[in-house]
Structure 1
Amino acid sequence: MSVEYTNRRGRKHYLHEGKTKTGKPKYFFSMKAEGTLLNAIPDGYEIYEHPSAQVFLRKIPPQIITPEEVAIVQDGIKKHAKLDYFIVDVKDNQIVVYLCDQNVDALMEIALPVSSAEAARMRAALVESLSYSPMMQFVLESTQTRAFVVERWCFRGSVDDWIALDRSTDLNALVKQYGQHLGKESFYDLMP
């Protein structure tokens, strides 16, 4: 049985093996079920789904961020920002919060009057097709003190980069103080 992975958009991907120009093996996912398919994930690798729903096979990265810290951000955003559609992703020493680019409720309101079953199918199809953008990140500054820097994405044309807002060894406090602004106009007022 070949390795299959279904991403959040409901698309099935198959793990393939190819060769580099030097003859070394390379691994990749494709939606095609033909070719050199692998029956197992190679040792030292893991499946990774990017918030854009692209699927990759990558070497298992060293664990800098703990699962508990990811849970603090995930639960804190849900509790304080009261958002339904967001993704929390870990990259190196960063916990990145991606927000949905579309307003699902507004899009559902403009749909023609439909039965509740059709509305549920429409919402599910819409949720599968959502796109996400990075809006806030919590960067681990010190592995000894577990100090984090909270940054927000700056949308000024001349900047278009992360800007640091605050730092603390209390990740819960940072998430509570700054996470509540995600998805709101007050987010754009956050400045260092």
Structure 2
Amino acid sequence: MPVTHVNRRRDTYYLHAGTTRTGKPGYWFSKSAEGDLVEAIPEDYEIYENPDAQVFLRKVQPQVITPFEVAVVERGLKRYAPDQNCMVDVRGEDIVVYHAERVTFDMDLPFFGVRELPPSYRNYMKVMRFTLIDEDERTFRVQRWCFRGSIDGWIDLWSSGGSGPLADLVERYLPHIGKESFYELI
């Protein structure tokens, strides 16, 4: 039985194998069930689905961030930004928060039966990240994404107390997601 993964958009992906230009094994996911399908996930690899529902096979990542810390951010989103469409992803020492705007239609679409695009089909943008800066003390710094075309990148929020215990940063900064006050954070 080939390795498959159903992403959050309910698309089924099949794991394929091949060789790179240098002769090493290469792996990728495709919606096609044709070709060289893999029967088992290679050792030291894991399936990863990014916030845009793209599926990859990657080497197992070392866990710097604890599951408890991820849960602190996820619970914070439910408490401080409950009406926002957010998703959390861990990348190395970063806990990245993604946000998707609500997409509404000017007309009723009979095949959807809704006037709003379901969350699983929305595009998510990174908006905030919490970076572990002290592994012993478990302190973090917070940054927000700058959306100015010529300056796209992370902005440190040091001047407004942007480092400390994760729970404090979550309480202070997550309420701004999806609001005008987000753009005033510096």
TM above 0.5, yes or no, is yes
What SS class does the counterpart of residue 122 from structure 2 fall into? Answer: coil
State how far apart, in whole Å, the 1-side matches of 2:65 and 2:53 are.
Answer: 22
Q: CA 1:16 to 1:58, structure 2 compared with 1: closer, same or farther past 3 Å?
A: same
Q: Deviations over 1:101-146 (max 9, x none)?
A: x324xx16x33397xx933xx65x6333200100000001111111
Structure with greater proportional helix content: 1
Where in structure 2 are there 5+ consecutive unaligned residues?
none
CA RMSD of aligned residues (A): 2.0
What SS class does the counterpart of residue 107 from structure 2 fall into? Answer: coil
The 5-angstrom pairing of residues 94-173 of structure 1 reads 94-100=94-100, 102-104=101-103, 107=104, 110-112=106-108, 118-119=113-114, 126-165=118-157, 166-168=162-164, 170-173=165-168
What SS class does the counterpart of residue 78 from structure 1 fall into? Answer: helix
Kindly indicate whether the alpha-carbon contact (under 8 Å) linking 2:84 and 2:177 is maintained by their aligned counterparts in 1.
no
State how far apart, in whole Å, the 2-side matches of 1:126 and 1:50 are.
Answer: 17
Alignment-derived partner of residue 32 in structure 2: 32
Where in structure 1 are there 5+ consecutive unaligned residues?
none
Question: Kindly, what percent of the aligned residue pairs are identical?
Answer: 48
Alignment-derived partner of residue 41 in structure 2: 41
State how far apart, in whole Å, the 2-side matches of 1:45 and 1:9 are.
Answer: 23
Q: Which moved more, 1:151-160 or 1:34-43?
A: 151-160
Alignment-derived partner of residue 179 in structure 1: 174
State how far apart, in whole Å, the 1-side matches of 2:2 and 2:120 are.
Answer: 24
Kindly indicate whether the alpha-carbon contact (under 8 Å) linking 2:84 and 2:178 is maintained by their aligned counterparts in 1.
no
Cα deviation, residue 22, structure 1:
2.6
Runs of 4+ in 1 over 6 A off after TM superposition: none
State how far apart, in whole Å, the 2-side matches of 1:113 and 1:7 are.
Answer: 24
Q: CA 1:162 to 1:33, structure 2 compared with 1: closer, same or farther past 3 Å?
A: same
What SS class does the counterpart of residue 181 from structure 2 fall into? Answer: helix
Alignment-derived partner of residue 62 in structure 1: 62
1:52 matched to 2:47: no
Q: Deviations over 1:133-181 (max 9, x none)?
A: 000000011111111001001123442211111100x211100110010
Q: CA 1:15 to 1:68, structure 2 compared with 1: closer, same or farther past 3 Å?
A: same
- TM-score, scaled relative to structure 2: 0.90
The alignment covers a number of residue pairs equal to: 182
